[in-house]
């Protein structure tokens, strides 16, 4: 049976320019659209059309796999009562669907994978030819850095859709795309589409004010509906402090000082990322000179990384659970790292997350960040935020666990250790007697 794609769907007027750009050979689209402008419907429909046009592997990414299943794979269109995936990929073009893997094999041999970007570097199989980054402003920016060379090598395409979350990596990408002739960039605040009437827009704004308060409600409205890149990120723990650091010129070139002792702070991941901050105390200033994060690597990898930076023999601060012994080896990660001869290895005493966050807030006004080496880490700190309850419309007083967590956790250990580090003349905490 012949079928026309996109199936039973026509792009809205403001969506057509992206389709024209992509259909005429475009390879990079950045869509900064307001909430409920149809970002995912548009991207899903284009993906289905492109996958039937060229046999290849395609990925649809959201920040986390659980979000993909809830928001895309199992989501139902309230207007039709049908699953969104089935609407975009009708039975006539689907040869096989694997629910556990959230994968479609199409009639022409293409495979479409619905995935979380949180483990982008562990995804295996054929390299993708086309990728949709949905909610890119909430996605780990390292995912694009990792996947970009793949698309450049095979001539593949990428679509980034999102609503704004302050001046983060997504905003930077949009502004870059807007200045590049070979890229397509489109910013659509609610005032430039016909999705809502002016009266409905004003009611949305008032409702957000009533729900979140005047300040947070207005910030959310500007983010979600006006695509305002300068609106503050609601619920962010350190956003204002990082903005202040930028305004005061403390995010700049920060060279390594051979006369000052180096110390590091680690967040040790088991099945996910390990993050390491590298710092020096220079007078009352705290110089953050380097940052490193990777996923799924053994401790020897991180030891080699630290050793190869040329910072001498730093003092290394680990989280309290680094003393837990592994079943396989009988050794703790503290002991393993100590045996790798990279410098003194010490453990930060256990404290609550709230105390750690307060410690970070205390030291951030004294911190200087190297703009290049610490860019990814500072981006994570800027976007580290409270968990949001969609049903109750409130923020919980606990952090959201996402791509920002590893950098933020490691920085908490830095904040908890640097005061003692300064007092002890860079000797750090005394190891606990065993």
**pLDDT for 429:** 40
**273 and 378 housed in the same domain:** yes
Q: Are residues 203 and 331 in the same domain?
A: no
Q: Which of 174, 208, 233 is the last residue of a domain?
A: 233
HSE-up (13 A, CA, CB side) for residue 220: 21
Same domain for 206 and 341, yes or no, is no
Last residue of a domain, one of 178, 211, 233: 233
For residue 390, the domain's CATH number is 3.30.420.280
Give pLDDT, residue 336.
Answer: 93
Q: What is the pLDDT, as a whole number, of residue 169? A: 93
Specify the pTM.
0.82
Residues 112 and 259 in one domain: no
* Residue-level pLDDT at 423: 61
- Looking at residue 80, what is its pLDDT? 87
Q: Based on the fold, state whether residues 172 and 299 are members of the same structural domain.
A: no
Within-domain flag for 397? yes
The answer to whether residue 3 sits within a structural domain is: no
280 and 373 together in one domain: yes
Q: Is position 2 within any domain?
A: no
Enclosing domain of residue 413? 245-423
Q: Please indicate, yes or no, if residue 431 is contained in any of the structural domains.
A: no
**217 and 279 co-located in one domain:** no
- Domain total of the chain: 3
Q: Are residues 259 and 137 in the same domain?
A: no
For β-strands 251-252 and 367-370, DSSP reports them as parallel
pLDDT by residue for the chain (434 residues), tens only, comes to: 467 889 889 999 999 999 999 999 999 999 999 999 999 999 999 999 999 999 999 999 999 888 999 999 999 988 888 999 999 999 999 999 999 999 999 999 999 999 998 877 666 668 999 999 999 999 989 899 989 999 999 999 999 999 999 889 999 999 999 999 999 999 999 999 999 999 999 999 999 999 888 988 999 999 999 999 988 888 899 988 998 999 999 999 999 999 999 999 999 986 678 999 999 999 999 999 999 998 888 999 999 999 999 999 999 999 999 998 876 677 899 999 999 999 999 999 999 999 999 999 999 999 999 999 999 999 999 999 998 776 676 778 899 988 999 999 999 999 999 876 666 554 444 433 33
Single out the residue in 128, 159, 192 at which a domain terminates: 192
Query: Is residue 50 domain-shared with residue 178, that is, in the same domain?
Result: yes
Residue 224 shares a structural domain with residue 355: no
- Give residue 296's pLDDT: 80
Classify residue 408: in a domain, yes or no: yes
Tell me, yes or no, whether 291 lies in a domain.
Answer: yes
Residues 41 and 174 in one domain: yes
Residue 428 domain flag: no
The answer to whether position 98 is within a domain reads yes
């Amino acid at each position: 049976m012949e079928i026309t794609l996109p199936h039973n769907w026509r792009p809205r007027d403001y969506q057509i320019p992206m389709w024209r750009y992509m259909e005429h050979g475009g390879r990079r689209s950045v869509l900064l659209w307001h909430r409920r402008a149809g970002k995912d419907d548009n991207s899903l429909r284009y993906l289905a059309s492109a996958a039937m046009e060229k046999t290849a592997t395609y990925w649809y990414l959201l920040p986390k796999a659980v979000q993909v299943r809830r928001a895309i794979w199992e989501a139902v269109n309230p207007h039709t009562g049908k699953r969104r995936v089935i609407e975009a990929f009708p039975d006539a073009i689907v040869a096989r669907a694997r629910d556990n893997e959230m994968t479609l094999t199409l009639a022409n041999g293409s495979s479409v994978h619905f995935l979380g970007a949180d483990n982008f570097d562990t995804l295996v199989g054929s390299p993708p030819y086309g990728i949709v980054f949905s909610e890119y402003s909430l996605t780990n920016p390292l995912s694009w850095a990792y996947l970009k060379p793949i698309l450049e090598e095979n001539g593949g395409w990428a679509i980034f859709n999102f609503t704004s979350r302050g001046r983060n990596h997504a905003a930077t990408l949009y502004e870059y795309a807007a200045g590049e002739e070979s890229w397509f960039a489109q910013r659509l605040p609610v005032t430039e589409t016909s999705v809502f009437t002016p009266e409905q827009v004003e009611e949305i704004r008032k409702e957000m004010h009533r729900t979140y308060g005047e300040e947070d409600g207005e910030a959310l409205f500007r983010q979600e509906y006006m695509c305002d890149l300068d609106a503050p990120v609601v619920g962010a723990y350190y956003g204002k402090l990082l903005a202040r650091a930028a305004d005061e010129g403390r995010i700049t070139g920060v060279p390594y000082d051979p006369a000052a002792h180096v110390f590091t702070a680690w967040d040790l991941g088991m099945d996910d990322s390990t993050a390491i901050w590298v710092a020096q105390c220079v007078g009352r200033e705290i110089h953050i000179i380097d940052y490193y994060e990777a996923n799924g690597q053994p401790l020897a990898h991180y030891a080699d990384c630290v050793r190869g930076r040329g910072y001498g023999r730093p003092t290394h601060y680990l989280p309290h659970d680094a003393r837990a012994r592994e079943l396989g080896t009988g050794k703790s990660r503290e002991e393993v790292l100590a045996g790798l001869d990279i410098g003194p290895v010490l453990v930060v005493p256990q404290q609550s997350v709230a105390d750690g966050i307060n410690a970070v807030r205390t030291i951030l006004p004294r911190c200087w960040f190297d703009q290049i080496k610490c860019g990814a880490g500072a981006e994570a700190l800027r976007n580290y935020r409270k968990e949001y309850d969609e049903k109750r419309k409130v923020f919980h007083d606990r952090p959201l666990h996402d791509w920002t967590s590893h950098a933020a956790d490691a920085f908490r250990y830095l904040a908890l250790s640097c005061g003692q580090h300064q007092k002890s003349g860079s000797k750090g905490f005394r190891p606990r007697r065993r």
